[in-house]
Amino acid sequence: MAVLTIGLSCYDQFFFIPDYPVEDHKIFSTEFLESGGGPCGNASYLLGLWGINVYHITSLKNDIYGTYIISELNSVNVNIEYSIINHDQITPLSTILINEKNKSRTIITNKSNKTKKICNSDRNRLQLLIDKLNKDKGVHIILIDGHEYELSEFIIPKISNKIVVMDAGNLRESNLKLAKYTDYFIASEHFAQDLINEKNMLLRKNQILALKMIEEISAPENTPIITLGEYGVISLENKEICHYSAYDCVPVDTTGAGDIFHGAFVFGLCQKWDLERVIYFSNLASAISIEKKGVRHILPSLAEVQNSKLSLKPQLK
């Protein structure tokens, strides 16, 4: 069994600021951090850190930023040899503003929005990986975020035994198109709001509507899931809404909360845990991480999550 993460890797720069900047004014950060990032990039890093056999499929330019990202992933044994890395690509860059007043984060990312063309040599390399995985009788887990649509479309249908997990942070056409492959479509609150054009995701009627819409566009016998931040997670299981409480923590920087949740979710699937255990474990890993600044700098070890003393918040009424 192996894990594939197919999606965005980027170079993150974190600026911690006293308050959100006023337009046309100058402001200085109180602290600065930098590291690799991206939804699938961070998830693959966490999985590598926790000892999972993971292949990360992304596209990067072989510039100083791409080289840094590769080195960082290699440091935790993430296999990136099947990624597309050349001068024709763009290494995505993200500026992250963390408002120290209310702990919100605003992310500005520069990435290629052009349709990606996969050349024959890259197709042949990817096919080698596909053939290798198909020789393994185990079930492989694929995490996607929609940012590498063409790579996802090329790879996913060719993998015989698989479970596909979607990190749907924002409502994009690529996420909707890839939903047909997805066994666990994990939507953020923002995604769900935009999907049903409603803001209040604590209303049961809105939760039902969003979960059912996700269920309809996903693979047969899928499980739709929506993350609600401090209000926990909801899912649709056997036609019933299930609620999983968040853990009580003191947020400092919420930047990588979703990425860590999805990485931990995949880890739980690798252990063949039941869904309840997977979600609570993912909630806990995410809660631990947002109590510190940054993402990869502060990722919890597996032992830290297993031995955490954080307590659950009350159930939603």
Eight-state DSSP code of residue 78 = -
pLDDT at 170: 93
pLDDT at 103: 86
pLDDT at 117: 85
Give the residue extent of every domain in the chain: 3-10+37-92+112-307
pLDDT at 317: 58
Structural contact between residues 76 and 43, judged by C-beta atoms closer than 8 angstroms: no
pLDDT at 177: 98
pLDDT along the chain (317 residues), means of 10: 97 95 94 96 98 98 97 98 94 95 92 88 97 94 98 98 97 97 98 98 97 98 97 96 96 92 98 98 96 92 95 80
pLDDT at 27: 93
pLDDT at 290: 93
Question: pLDDT tens for residues 227-241?
Answer: 999 999 999 999 999
Q: 243-273 in b/e burial notation, b at 16+ Cβ within 10 A? A: ebbbbebebbbbbbbbbbbbbbbbbbbbeee
pLDDT at 7: 98
What's the length of the chain? 317
pLDDT at 248: 95
| Residue range 3-10+37-92+112-307 in CATH 3.40.1190.20 | yes
